[in-house]
Each structure stands twice: as C-alpha cells, then as structure tokens.
Structure 1
Amino acid sequence: MIENWLFIAAMLAVLLIPGPTNALLASSAHHQGVIKTFALVPAQLFGYLYGISIWALLIHLTLPIWPLLIDILHIASMAYVLWLAFHLWKASHLQNHSQVHRTLSPSQLFISTLKNPKTILFAAGIFPIETWDSYLHYFIVIGIFILCLIPCALFWIYWGRTVLAGKLKGVSADRLYKGSALFLILCMLPVVVRFF
C-alpha cells in the first residue's frame, strides 16, 4: 500500500499554483461565465490524465535501459518548481492573459493541460512510486487526484473571475501570485525531503 500520503499536499499545491491552464479557467469564467467554464473541467482532467500517463509510460519503458532518467526528471521537476516559485513571485500576468484569451473550447483546454509541465511533475516527482505497481494503487492515486483537481478548478473559476473583475479590494493578481509561490514552496518540501 502507499506508505506516505504527504503527496496530497504537494498535489494540491501544484494544482493551485497559477499556470496556463488555471489562467485559462479564470479568463473563461470572467468572459464566458461560471457554468460554461465548469463544463470544461473534464477536458482539463483528461488532459492531465493523458499527460501523466504518457510520461509515466515513458519513464517505465526507459527505466531498464536508462535508470538515471527518473533522477534527471526529479531534479528537473525540482528545478521547475523553484523556477516557477521565483517566476510567480515576480509576475502577475493574469490580467494580460485574460485580455488575450476571451473564449475557451474544450480542445484548447485539453491541449494546454496536455502540454503543461505539471504533468511531468506529477508523473516523476509527486505521485508515489507505488502508483505504478498495481491497478489498485493507480486507481487510488488517480481518484485522489480527481478529488483534488475539482476543488482546485472551482477555486480558479470563482477566485480568478473575482480577481479579474476587481470585486475584492486589496486582492490583486500580484498578491495572488506571491501567495501561490509561498504555498508552492511550503507544500513541495515533503517531496524534496522524500527525494533526498
């Protein structure tokens, strides 16, 4: 069975941090409405599942030939998280992103999620190694992932729309990004400790 359940905190942190998919959800909710945007969440889910599965399959197939690939992906994932946290601290491009992407289709969200570097992070660094040992472990972890994804998507639909509409005084995209950077570093500590 899966021994360490701290991966759930890291999973929530990565799903909540601002990224291309979350910015698309926020922008879509602002321009197209909450209900139409919520109907797009299955496209995001399938994008993540396909992306994670492709990377997991690639890792599994290359591990006997090139055992260092998993270590390289772990290091690259940690470097990406540190770069993303630094980038989030300095950036607040949610407003600009919203002006460019006024409409969103399921295929756009699916492709954006599939190409998202978070899929590598989940497959190589966040999901426990036991995930790929059996179908039971796989379905448990994917079930937990789905249970984490839906509230995170709802957060970005409602919160992103509120921030873009300027309805909250004192809350801006800049503060949202800085808070996300701190939250990301805090929740990724168990993954970093597990790796070393």
Structure 2
Amino acid sequence: MQVSNEFLAMAGYVALILIIPGPTNTLLLSSGVRNGLSKTIPLVFAEAFGYFLAITFWGAFLLSIENFLPSIFQWTRITCAIYIFWLAFKMWRISSNLDEPKEGKSDFIQVFITTLLNPKALIFSSSIIPETAFISIDNFVYAMAVFLIILFPVGVLWASLGGLMKISLNTGSHIKVILRVASCFLIFFSFLLVYSGVIKR
C-alpha cells in the first residue's frame, strides 16, 4: 500500500511538471499549430524516448555517486526546487502572453534531443520518481509505465493547444487561468522539495 501511495504521489507530480511550458512543449505546440495533431503525434514518441533515456541516465548516475556523496539527492532536490520556483515565475509571465509560438521546424530528432537535454529529466530522476525505481528493475518498469501513461496525454494536449487557442479569446482566458493555478502549485511543490532536502536531512 505504501508503494502504491508513493507511485500515486509520483503520478501527480509528474503531471504537474510535464504540463509546464518548456522547450519540448514549445516544439509540440508550434508543430500542432502548423501541422495539426495527427502529424505531431510522432513527436510525442520522440519526447517519450528522450525522457526515458535521460531519466535512466540521471537516476543511475545519482545512485552510483550516492556512496561518495551521501547528500547528493538532498542537494539535487534543493537545486531542483530553485529551478521549479523559477519555472513557476516563468509560467505566470507566459500566461500573460499567449501569442502563437514563433519556433522553426519541429522534427523527431529535434524534439528527441531537446527532451534529452531538458532539465525536467533531472527533476524527475532526483526528486519525483522513487529512489527504489533505480534499485529494483520491477519498480523501474512500474515507475516508467506510470510516467509514460501520463506523458502521452500531456504531450497530445500541448500538440493540440495551438489549434484550441485559435478558436476564441475565451479559450485563451481559460488557458491563462490554468497556467496561473499551475504556477501556484509549482511554488508549493518547490517548498516541499526544500523541506525534503533540508528539514528531513
């Protein structure tokens, strides 16, 4: 039951972080605006592949140096908390300017590489995905399954968001509210990370 609750909490935090505007989501959004949802779906698979490799690398790396630096996970969580707080501020600003993105062409390789280098992967591996996932293969498979189940609908959401923004100004106002509420949740989550990294050390 405790493991299930742990992965349930992970699912909620994964959804919150994934929905944040960022480089990968911007590419999905711009492709959705130009090419439509059906032609953008393959890019979501590129995102999934990029996150899978990046999370696997960061999780294994952090676990391998934990014996030499026992506090590595705590300090990484604090660093991630600062980054998430900055993302919350950035999201609030973006909510005030929902103009159509001006990105260039978005292809499979571009989305894959952008996701592979996305700092969110470090947040997932160090602060959100349970540490046991990088110790037990069963837990790793379970954690990544949960992660991917959440990633695909969020990716599709961003891919179709560009078209939705063109429907009416009212839709844009709803998106603005959603982004600002998510921004507040991110600030709360950043404080939780500081608590887990400092208070509980």
TM-score tier after normalising by the smaller chain length:
0.7 to 0.9
Structure 2 letter corresponding to 1:122: F
- CA shift at 1:30, angstroms? 0.5
Structure 2 counterpart of 1:87: 90
What's the Cα RMSD here? 2.3
Structure 1 counterpart of 2:172: 171
Alignment of 1:56-95 (within 5 A): 56-92=59-95, 95=99
CA offsets 1:29-60 (integer angstroms, 9 cap, x no match): 00011101012111100100111111112102
- CA shift at 1:178, angstroms? 2.2
Is the alpha carbon distance of 1:142 and 1:18 closer, same or farther for their aligned partners in structure 2, counting shifts above 3 Å?
A: same
Match of residue 130, structure 2, among 124, 128, 131: 128
Please give the alpha-carbon distance, in whole angstroms, between the structure 2 residues aligned to 1:14 and 1:94: 19
Match of residue 118, structure 1, among 117, 120, 131: 120
- CA shift at 1:89, angstroms? 1.3
Correspondence 1:27 to 2:25:
no
Q: Percent identity?
A: 28
Match of residue 44, structure 1, among 43, 47, 58: 47
Aligned 8 A contact 2:20 2:87 in 1: no
Structure 1 letter corresponding to 2:51: Y
Please give the alpha-carbon distance, in whole angstroms, between the structure 1 residues aligned to 2:172 and 2:160: 14
Name the count of aligned residue pairs: 193
SS of residue paired to 2:102 = helix
Please give the alpha-carbon distance, in whole angstroms, between the structure 2 residues aligned to 1:170 and 1:162: 7
Is the alpha carbon distance of 1:44 and 1:170 closer, same or farther for their aligned partners in structure 2, counting shifts above 3 Å?
A: closer
Structure 2 counterpart of 1:161: 163
Match of residue 7, structure 1, among 7, 10, 32: 10
Aligned 8 A contact 2:77 2:193 in 1: no
CA offsets 1:131-154 (integer angstroms, 9 cap, x no match): 112110000000000100011111
Deviates more, 1:26-35 or 1:178-187: 178-187
Is there any run of 5+ residues in structure 1 with no aligned partner, and where? none
Is the alpha carbon distance of 1:89 and 1:83 closer, same or farther for their aligned partners in structure 2, counting shifts above 3 Å?
A: same
Please give the alpha-carbon distance, in whole angstroms, between the structure 1 residues aligned to 2:43 and 2:179: 23
Q: Which runs of 4+ in 1 moved over 4 A?
A: 172-176, 186-195
Alignment of 1:98-113 (within 5 A): 98-101=101-104, 103-113=105-115
Q: TM-score, normalised to structure 1's length?
A: 0.87
Aligned 8 A contact 1:17 1:184 in 2: no
- CA shift at 1:65, angstroms? 1.6
Is the alpha carbon distance of 1:186 and 1:66 closer, same or farther for their aligned partners in structure 2, counting shifts above 3 Å?
A: closer
